[in-house]
Amino acid sequence: MNIKIIGVGKIKEKFYRAAIAEYAKRLGRYCKFEVVEVPDEKAPENLSPAQMAAVMEKEGARILAKIKEKEYVYALAIKGKERTSEDFAAELNQLATYGNSDITFVIGGSLGLSPAVLQRANQQISFGRFTLPHQLMRVVLSEQVYRAFTIINGLPYHK
């Protein structure tokens, strides 16, 4: 199975990079795991709705350029469906069983994901209604993917 996380912007904080690297190392026994960063669009604080849409469209085009046609795509979105860790693990396992072995997760920038990216996604997933920094969300997502594989493989980590 191939798992890819596409995120907008670079992770500058060393502790976030270290956490993601740790989960990437752990995931190495279960899948090919990759994090792809696309440049964020500079956006001042007080943008008009049209300027916000333009920023999301530019970031969305960069994201879509990194997604292949065969990939099964989860868009992380507050309005997405929430799951338990066990449900998430079962879903990933079922996707792999039925031939979806290339799974991509997309984390937007500070303004969220463009309509084009949401439309390309096979599903929207939510980790709750909190707003989290996208750098931290990459860590949380990496951990949940690792947790899913430990559940699938009957390991005690997930308890």
Reduce the secondary structure of the chain to three states and give it as a string: CEEEEEEECCCCCHHHHHHHHHHHHHHCCCCEEEEEEECCCCCCCCCCHHHHHHHHHHHHHHHHCCCCCCCEEEEEEEEEEECCHHHHHHHHHHHHHCCCCEEEEEECECCECCHHHHHHCCEEEECCCCCCCHHHHHHHHHHHHHHHHHHHCCCHHHC
**pLDDT tens track for 101-110:** 999 999 999 8
Question: Mean per-residue pLDDT for 62-87?
Answer: 96
Question: Mean per-residue pLDDT for 32-61?
Answer: 94
**What pLDDT score was predicted for residue 13?**
95
Determine the CATH number of domain 2-42+49-153: 3.40.1280.10
Amino acid at 25: K
Reported confidence tier of residue 44, pLDDT bands at 50, 70, 90: confident
User: Does the pLDDT at position 158 exceed 70?
Assistant: no
**What pLDDT score was predicted for residue 43?**
82
112 marked ligand binding residue = no
108 marked ligand binding residue = yes
Model confidence, pTM: 0.95
Average pLDDT along the chain: 95
Reported confidence tier of residue 159, pLDDT bands at 50, 70, 90: low
C-alpha distances (whole Å) from 112 to each of 29, 32, 54, 106, 133 are: 32, 26, 12, 10, 11
Question: Mean per-residue pLDDT for 59-71?
Answer: 98
Torsion sign, CA atoms 34, 38, 43, 48:
negative
Nearest Cα neighbor of 145 from 12, 30, 68 is: 30
